[in-house]
Amino acid sequence: MTPEFAIEIIKAMIMQATALAAPVLVTAMAVGLAISLFQAVSSIQEQTLSFVPKLVAIAALIIISLPWLLRTTIEFTTAMFQKIPQMVQ
C-alpha cells in the first residue's frame, strides 16, 4: 500500500464520519440555541430544561435519518472491502 493510497483511505473515513455526525451535531446545536434563547427571554434558568428537548430532537432525527445513515455506511463499507486487493499489493 502506498502512502498516497493510505491517505486517500483515511481522508475518505474522516469525510464519512463527518457526514454521518454532522446532522446530529447541527440538530443538537440548533435545539440548544433555541432553548438558550427561550431561557434568556423568559428568565427561566433551569439546567435540565435543555436536556429533554435535545434528547427528543436527536432521537427523532436518528429515527428519521436512519435509512440514509445505514445506506451510506453500507456503501462506504462495501467500497472499502472492494479496495482490499489494492491494499495488499
33-86 confidence digits (pLDDT tens)? 999 899 889 888 787 788 899 999 999 999 999 999 999 999 999 999 999 888
Query: Which residue, among 29, 25, 28, 6, has the nearest Cα to 17 in the 3D structure?
Result: 25
Residues 43, 37: Cα–Cα separation, whole Å? 10
How many Cβ atoms sit within 10 Å of the Cβ of residue 87?
12
Q: In a 3-state reduction of DSSP, which class is residue 75?
A: helix
- What local confidence, expressed as pLDDT, does residue 19 receive? 95
- What local confidence, expressed as pLDDT, does residue 85 receive? 87
Q: Residue 89: is its pLDDT beyond 80?
A: no
Alpha helix ranges (H) inside 1-83: 3-42, 51-82
Residue 39 is which amino acid?
Q
- What local confidence, expressed as pLDDT, does residue 43 receive? 84
- What local confidence, expressed as pLDDT, does residue 47 receive? 78
- What local confidence, expressed as pLDDT, does residue 31 receive? 94
